[in-house]
């Protein structure tokens, strides 16, 4: 949980900060007059967020080794989940940056949506330690599935179905990617 949390926040904030800064400084217009397609522009921003997420996730893992040993149960799954989670939240950061009207707007979603969902998603505890009503509510939280899948990849403890988490991530990525491409093609938040 402590490794996936900075992966989510850093992939999200890297893209929202980069794109909004370009809009604020009016340098984004130069990017859109270039012969690059919307897919390449979006992929560039997203890969920046993914790269930062991998660096931060690895750094958090290395620092955590000073305090405890964390044997990686399934390295390939951990890498795939890091890629999928950071890709999704990079796209979500891009969508937030498109709609942001001020620097304050880029912090609304992380503060009032992502942080509560992350804390209520079993980052620091098993959701099965909650009262039954809160367990049901937690099962509606997509971040709970991401945290559980990441926990399984690192330490082998599976609380929620990993396959379901991966399918959910893929569906959300495709959906959010298409929304982001639509926003780019229409010039929403740019023109």
The three-state secondary structure class of 152 is helix
- Poorest-confidence range of 82-86, 109-113, 186-190? 186-190
> Which pTM was predicted?
0.90
Which pair of structure tokens corresponds to residue 31? 């990017």
Q: Could you give the CA distance from residue 146 to residue 154 in angstroms, rounded to a whole number?
A: 12
Collect all residues with Cβ–Cβ distance below 8 Å to 87 and sequence separation of at least 6: 11, 46, 49, 50, 173
Q: Could you give the CA distance from residue 143 to residue 150 in angstroms, rounded to a whole number?
A: 10
HEC assignment per residue over 6-41: HHHHHHHHHHHHHHHHHHHCCCHHHHHHCCCCHHHH
pLDDT in tens, 48-80: 999 999 999 999 999 988 888 878 889 999 999
The pLDDT of residue 191 is 64
Q: What is the CA radius of gyration of the chain?
A: 17
pLDDT in tens, 103-153: 888 888 888 888 888 888 888 888 888 888 888 888 888 999 999 999 999
The pLDDT of residue 30 is 81
- Decide if pLDDT at 190 tops 80: no
Q: Could you give the CA distance from residue 86 to residue 29 in angstroms, rounded to a whole number?
A: 26
- Decide if pLDDT at 41 tops 70: yes
Are 43 and 121 in contact, with CB atoms under 8 Å apart?
Answer: no
The pLDDT of residue 175 is 98
């Amino acid at each position: 949980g402590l490794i996936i949390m900075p992966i989510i926040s850093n992939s999200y904030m890297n893209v929202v900060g980069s794109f909004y800064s370009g809009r604020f400084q009016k340098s984004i217009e130069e990017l859109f007059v270039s012969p690059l397609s919307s897919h390449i522009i979006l992929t560039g921003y997203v890969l920046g967020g993914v790269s930062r997420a991998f660096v931060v996730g690895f750094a958090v893992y290395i620092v955590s080794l000073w305090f405890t040993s964390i044997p990686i149960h399934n390295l390939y799954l951990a890498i795939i989940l890091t890629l999928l989670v950071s890709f999704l939240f990079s796209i979500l950061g891009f969508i937030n940056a498109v709609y942001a009207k001020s620097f304050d707007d880029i912090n609304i979603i992380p503060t009032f949506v992502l942080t509560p969902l992350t804390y209520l998603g079993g980052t620091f505890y098993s959701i099965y330690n909650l009262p039954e009503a809160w367990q049901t509510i937690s099962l509606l939280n997509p971040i709970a599935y991401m945290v559980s899948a990441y926990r399984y990849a690192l330490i082998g403890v599976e609380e929620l179905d990993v396959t379901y988490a991966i399918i959910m991530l893929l569906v959300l990525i495709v959906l959010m990617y298409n929304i982001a491409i639509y926003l780019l093609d229409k010039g929403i938040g740019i023109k």
